[in-house]
Chain A
Amino acid sequence: MSIRSVLVQLLLVIAFVGNALAISATGSRLLVVLDPSLKDEDYSLFFSDLDSRGLDLTIKAANDPSLGLFEYGERIYDHLILTLPPTQKALGPNLLAKPLLDFSAAGGNIVVVLNANEHALASVREFANQLDVFLPFRDTKLVDHFSYDKEASPLLHDALVLSPNSLLAPEIVSPTADDASKLLYYPGGSAFSLGNNQLLVPVLAAPETAYIYDPAEEATKSETPFATGSQAFLVASLQTRKNTRVTFVASNLLFTNDAFTKPDSFNRAFAAQLSAWTFAEKSVLRLESVTHRLVNSSELNPSIYRVKNEIEYEVELSRFTDGKWAPFYASDVQLEFTMLDPYYRLTLIPSSSSPSAQTYTTSFIAPDQHGMFSFVLNYKRPGLSFVEDKRVVTLRHFGHNEFARSFEIPNAWPYATSIFVVVAAWLLFVALWMFSANSESPSVKKTQ
């Protein structure tokens, strides 16, 4: 028994330490599926950055027969970087659209890196379509004849230089003031377009004057380009309703050592921040606790309230940053008290904070409407993980002994007074009747 308990304690300690040091909120097992045409050493800086952050890298070739995301139905990796081989056969059956979607639904995070020199495979195209991302036609290129990289592509104009200030999602990649003067190199490749999926967050769009064309067929002019200007996206992210994350990167050349080591290159920081967001290392929110109770009552989360009760609602939110949970502060967290429609929509006020969580509080008078109500917390902001909580309570009407007494209502005082006046007058009448002589009227005497 003692050995067993010691072992259990040891395991608990290991689990606790492992948890405390975790770089990601969901896990650190990362699978990199590398297209055989890409050389490992070309991306050594990118991989060493990932490794030094504490991720547990497994690099496998796309044609590795042992490649799989699940084992016995269990997810065996937490994150996936997928680069694309030239043929569908080389990708193998375990990385088709269905396994990728299952992996995402099972809690895995995915970065899909399109190959600048190859077309996107049908399976990945299908996976992207499921998420409302439309990958470019084969052999197309993104060009910009106005703001191209003059050194890298003086003739083809397909290498672009972008400013970190043009990034669209500050929660995902936020350049510092020092980064503003740096450059984001896009050494070539295509771009994709996005549908209307509300879960999509564009990260990097092409410049206004860029467009996608087919160098083989549209060398002189492109009449119906696949996407133009800021409708062509180079990087876009998506957060599913289960808070797993998927990022599409239009070109693998963004992450090469060459791009990382160019003068004033922002690519390395960009790659680090983008992968950190996708692998749930930042911008992850967690609902620590939800409590509601009557004001001045100690009973937590009762299942029933009465109409016109004063109710206090409190939530604790925390955010995963730098490997630990810290308070999450925002001024736009709202509570809805709903029965089909919201009867109240109240902004929660940040009250107190502990080292690991921020408390938000509000109180309100329950509406004069009995039924089944819910406390709904629905905090969804682009880039942040979604916080959703619903607590159903009963709102009952007044009990028969809970109404105010008439004597407490000034309106009723005239009525109450009249009762007492009538009773007093009655007493007087009874007294006068009893003590008055019976034969006073002469006519009564006469009739009697």
Chain B
Amino acid sequence: MAPKKQVKPPKSVVSKSGTASTSAGGVSGSSSPTVADTSAIIADVVKTYVRETPRKLKLVDAFMGFLVAVGVLQFAYCVVVTSYPFNAFLSGFSITVGQFVLAASLRVQANPENSSQFDKVSPERAFADFVFGSLILHFFAYNFIN
């Protein structure tokens, strides 16, 4: 989920600025993309992401990646070892999912690219909403585990 979202904004940036038009044109021109082409695209995407994305959004992305890792680990533990205190599993798994959703919302609202769609929501307001929602989520997760 997370990587897909990460890919989208850089693409639009690329097409707008036109800096990577040659490589993009090469891919669309050939009938079967080679391994070299694919890796070139990926490298370009990464380079663009690193260069163009605001630092705060990178921070959100890192946080979301961490949440995915924790969620996957818990799910694997549940499947492989035990789901016995099932409420504990639900609580632990849903805090990662919920936190991921909140972080994604924050990322959407705080992205300067989307500022035109959220003219009434400043990045500070988005962050305050995120903190408020997160605290409620943590409260419920902690209650539900027992």
Contact = CB atoms under 8 A, between A and B. Distances in A.
A444 to B, nearest CB: 4
A441 B53 contact: yes
Interface in B89-143: 89, 91-93, 95-96, 99, 103, 112-113, 123, 127, 131, 134, 138, 141-142
B112 A447 contact: yes
Nearest to B110: A433
Interface stretch (A91-99, A246-254, A402-410): A402-410
A419 B92 contact: yes
Given A419-B142, A436-B55, A406 B63 contact: no
Interface string A429-441: 1101110111011
> Contact residue range for chain B?
35 or more
> Contact residue range for chain A?
20 to 34
Contacts of A298: none
B6 interface: no
Interface in A313-357: none
A406 B145 contact: yes
B125 to A, nearest CB: 14
A415 B55 contact: no
Given A406-B145, A447-B113, A418 B53 contact: no
Given A414-B74, A418-B70, A423 B56 contact: no
A442 interface: yes
B13 A443 contact: yes
Contact of A422 (B13, B51, B67, B123): B67
B13 to A, nearest CB: 7
A418 B74 CA distance: 8
Contacts of A432: 59
A422 B70 contact: yes
Contact of B74 (A415, A434, A436, A438): A415
A443 B58 CA distance: 13
A35 B87 CA distance: 84
A437 B70 contact: no
Contact of A415 (B52, B88, B99): B88
A425 interface: yes
Contacts of A436: 55-56, 59
Contacts of B141: 419, 422
B81 interface: yes
A421 B53 contact: no
A297 interface: no
B59 A433 contact: yes
B56 A433 contact: yes
B70 A442 contact: no
A220 interface: no
Interface in A360-418: 405-407, 409, 411-412, 414-416, 418
Contacts of B92: 414-416, 418-419
B121 to A, nearest CB: 16
Contacts of A405: 146
Contacts of B95: 418-419, 422-423
B70 A411 contact: no
Interface in A195-236: none
A440 B58 CA distance: 11
A271 B50 CA distance: 113
B3 interface: no
B96 A409 contact: no
Contacts of B70: 418, 421-422
A431 to B, nearest CB: 11
B54 interface: yes
A406 B146 contact: yes
A441 B145 contact: no
Contact of B138 (A406, A409, A423, A440): A423
Given A418-B70, A419-B95, A426-B134, A448 B145 contact: no
Interface in B42-80: 51-56, 59-60, 63, 66-67, 70, 73-74, 77
Contact of B87 (A406, A407, A429, A443): A406
B85 interface: yes
A204 B82 CA distance: 67
B88 A406 contact: yes
Contacts of B96: 418, 422
Nearest to B63: A429
Given A414-B74, A421-B70, 12 more contacts: A405-B146, A409-B85, A409-B88, A411-B84, A416-B92, A416-B145, A425-B63, A426-B138, A429-B63, A434-B127, A441-B52, A442-B51
25 contacts: A406-B145, A409-B84, A411-B81, A412-B85, A415-B77, A415-B92, A416-B145, A418-B95, A419-B92, A419-B142, A422-B67, A425-B63, A425-B66, A426-B99, A432-B59, A436-B55, A436-B56, A437-B55, A438-B56, A438-B123, A440-B55, A443-B53, A444-B54, A447-B113, A448-B112
